[in-house]
C-alpha cells in the first residue's frame, strides 16, 4: 500500500505507513477532534512541538517567497490572456472549478510545567556539603565469624565520633553491619539501638575524620520548596547519588500493613527515592537535614514518584535517646479518640481538636481527669486540630516529661499539667 504524505506548517515533509499502528511506537499524538473523517492522520509529537526557534527564523523567507511566486504567476497568467487575444483567438476559455482537497489544520498546543528550577551550581553546592555525610550501610548474618551480607541501605553521619542514623527496617533481622564511606573506606559497625515505632536506628563505627550532617528544621517548611534526597540506591559501588524534587506535602500518615507500625507526620517529596536509599538524607536547598528517607508510595502499577521522610525533629529526639540509653521509651497519654469537628457559621464542618472517647485507668489521661467527650485543643504551645496532630506531638516528648494540656469540656476551656507515662509494649 502506498504511503501517505503529510506536510506541517514548518514545511517538514514526513511519510507514514498507514498499515502501521501508531500506538505501538508511542511517538504519535491524535489529531484534533474536529478533523474531517476522510483526512484523519497521525502526527509525530516531536514534529509538532520542537525546534521553535528554527521555525521562527525560517517562516519569513518562506512567506516572502510564496508571495513573490504568487505575484509572478499572476502576471504570467495575465500576459498569457493578452497574448491569446492579440493573436485573434475568439474562443473564450473559462476556468473549470475544481474541488480542493480537504485541508488538515494543526493547532499547536504548548504544555508548560511550571516548576521552580534548581540551578546546577546550587545542586552541586548541596552535593559537596552533604555527600561526605552519607554512607552505605551493609547488613548481613555472621557465618563463622564473617559478616555475610544480604542487603544494604543508607545512613547519615550524626557526629564526628562515628554515630550514624539509619532506618530500623534496614538493620532489622541482621546480625552484623558494615559501613562504606564516600571515599571507599569500609568499617565494621555496632548497632546502638533501634526503634520500630519510628523506623529509626543508630549504628556506630570507629572511623575518624567524619563530616556530620547539619541539622535543619521541618517546622517552617512550605509545600513547593526544593528538596534534595541523597542516599545510595541499590548499594551501588561509587557511593551516594543525588536527586532533586520539591516538598509535596507534610504530616502524611504511612501505613505499611496489618501488624506494622504506622508512621505519622511524614514529609512527602517527589525527589526520587529507590530501594537502598532508605536511611539516607532529605535536605533543604542549604544542605540542612530535614528528614531521613524511609518509604516510597507504590500502587499496583508500580512506584508512583512519592517518597516519605521522617521529620528531623523526631530524628533528633529518637537518635539522642538511643545514643544516651540504647533504647527508646515513648510517652503515653492513655486515651482512645477521634477527630472533633465544629460547625462553622457558613455550615461547614471543620476539624478542631482530638475528642476523647475512652480513658485508660492509671495513665496520664486519668491523672488529668479527662472524661469521654473532652476535646484536647493544645499540647503546651502546639495547637491540636486532629488526633494525628496529638500523636505527632506526643512522639516528640519523652516519657516522664511534664506537659500542659488545654481541654474543652462542654465548650469551656481549662488547662491541666501532668507527667507523661511510658507507652506499654502492646497498648
Assess whether the region 114-321 and the region 331-422 belong to the same CATH fold.
Answer: no
33-78 residue pLDDT tens: 554 444 433 333 333 333 333 333 444 444 444 444 444 444 444 4
The span from the CA of 79 to the CA of 279, in Å, is 84
What pLDDT score does 331 carry?
Answer: 94
Catalytic residue (choose from 169, 241, 270, 330):
169
Local structure of residue 69 (DSSP, 8 states) = H
- Between residues 113 and 157, which one has the greater pLDDT? 157
Any catalytic annotation for residue 86?
A: no
β-pairing verdict for 146-157 and 163-166: antiparallel
Strand pairing report for 163-166 and 176-180? unpaired
What is the DSSP-derived secondary structure letter of residue 122?
H
Q: Active-site residue 278, yes or no?
A: yes
Residues 167 and 294 sit within 8 Å (Cβ to Cβ): yes
Give the whole-angstrom CA distance, residue 229 versus residue 307: 10
Radius of gyration of the chain (CA): 34
CATH architecture, domain 114-321: Beta Barrel (2.40)
CATH code for the structural domain at 331-422:
2.30.42.10
Q: Is the pLDDT of residue 326 over 90?
A: yes
CB neighbour class for 392 (10 Å; exposed up to 12, middle 13-18, buried from 19): buried
- Residue from 133, 138, 168, 199 carrying the catalytic annotation: 199
Residue 267 CA to residue 250 CA, distance in Å, equals 5
pTM of the predicted structure, to 2 decimals: 0.70
Catalytic residue among 154, 174, 218, 278: 278
Flag whether pLDDT at 238 surpasses 60: yes
Q: Which long-range contacts (CB under 8 A, 24 or more apart) does 57-63 make?
A: 58/10, 58/11, 62/11
Mean confidence (pLDDT) of the chain:
78
* pLDDT band with cut points at 50, 70 and 90 for residue 198: very high
The domains of the chain are located at: 1-112, 114-321, 331-422
Q: Nearest to residue 256, comparing CAs of 328, 150, 172, 340?
A: 172
The HSE-up count of residue 320 (CA atoms within 13 Å, CB side) is 10
How far is 293 from 231, CA to CA, in rounded Å?
A: 9
* pLDDT > 90? residue 29: no
Q: How far apart are CA 394 and CA 151, in angstroms?
A: 33
Question: Residue 281 and residue 285: Cα distance in Å, rounded?
Answer: 12
E strands of 22-85, at which residues? 28-29, 43-44
Active site residue 248: no
CA distance 107 to 89: 48
Average pLDDT of the segment spanning 133-156: 93
**pLDDT tens-place string over residues 87-128:** 344 444 444 444 445 444 444 444 444 445 566 678 899 999
Amino acid at each position: 500500500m502506498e504511503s501517505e504524505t503529510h506536510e506541517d506548517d514548518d514545511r517538514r515533509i514526513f511519510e507514514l505507513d498507514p498499515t502501521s499502528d501508531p500506538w505501538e511506537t508511542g511517538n504519535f499524538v491524535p489529531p484534533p477532534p474536529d478533523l474531517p473523517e476522510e483526512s484523519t492522520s497521525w502526527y509525530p509529537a516531536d514534529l509538532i512541538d520542537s525546534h521553535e526557534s528554527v521555525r521562527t527564523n525560517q517562516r519569513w523567507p518562506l512567506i516572502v517567497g510564496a508571495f513573490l511566486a504568487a505575484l509572478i504567476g499572476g502576471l504570467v497568467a495575465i500576459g498569457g490572456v493578452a497574448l491569446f487575444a492579440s493573436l485573434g483567438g475568439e474562443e473564450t476559455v473559462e476556468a473549470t472549478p475544481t474541488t480542493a482537497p480537504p485541508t488538515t489544520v494543526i493547532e499547536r498546543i504548548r504544555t508548560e510545567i511550571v516548576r521552580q528550577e534548581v540551578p546546577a551550581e546550587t545542586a552541586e553546592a548541596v552535593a559537596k556539603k552533604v555527600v561526605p555525610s552519607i554512607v552505605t550501610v551493609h547488613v548481613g548474618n555472621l557465618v563463622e565469624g564473617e559478616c555475610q551480607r544480604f542487603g544494604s541501605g543508607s545512613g547519615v553521619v550524626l557526629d564526628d565520633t562515628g554515630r550514624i542514623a539509619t532506618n530500623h527496617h534496614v538493620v532489622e533481622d541482621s546480625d552484623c553491619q558494615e559501613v562504606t564511606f564516600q571515599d571507599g573506606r569500609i568499617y565494621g559497625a555496632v548497632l546502638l539501638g533501634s526503634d520500630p515505632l519510628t523506623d529509626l536506628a543508630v549504628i556506630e563505627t570507629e572511623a575518624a575524620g567524619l563530616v556530620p550532617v547539619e541539622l535543619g528544621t521541618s517546622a517552617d517548611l512550605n509545600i513547593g520548596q526544593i528538596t534534595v534526597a541523597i542516599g545510595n540506591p541499590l548499594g551501588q559501588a561509587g557511593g551516594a547519588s543525588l536527586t532533586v524534587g520539591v516538598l509535596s506535602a507534610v504530616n502524611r500518615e504511612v501505613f505499611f500493613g496489618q501488624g506494622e507500625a504506622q508512621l505519622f507526620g511524614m514529609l512527602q517529596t517527589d525527589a526520587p527515592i529507590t530501594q537502598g536509599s532508605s536511611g539516607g538524607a532529605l535536605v533543604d536547598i542549604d544542605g540542612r537535614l530535614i528528614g531521613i528517607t524511609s518509604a516510597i508510595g507504590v500502587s499496583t502499577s508500580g512506584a508512583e514518584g512519592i517518597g516519605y521522610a521522617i521529620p528531623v525533629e523526631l530524628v533528633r529526639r529518637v537518635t539522642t535517646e538511643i545514643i544516651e540509653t540504647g533504647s527508646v521509651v515513648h510517652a503515653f497519654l492513655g486515651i482512645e479518640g477521634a477527630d472533633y469537628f465544629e460547625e462553622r457559621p457558613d455550615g461547614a464542618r471543620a476539624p478542631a481538636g482530638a475528642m476523647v472517647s475512652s480513658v485508660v485507668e492509671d495513665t496520664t489521661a486519668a491523672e488529668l481527669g479527662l472524661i469521654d467527650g473532652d476535646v484536647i485543643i493544645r499540647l503546651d504551645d502546639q495547637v491540636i486540630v486532629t488526633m494525628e496532630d496529638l500523636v505527632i506531638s506526643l512522639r516528640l516528648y519523652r516519657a516522664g516529661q511534664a506537659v500542659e494540656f488545654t481541654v474543652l469540656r462542654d465548650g469551656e476551656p481549662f488547662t491541666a499539667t501532668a507527667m507523661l507515662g511510658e507507652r506499654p509494649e502492646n497498648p
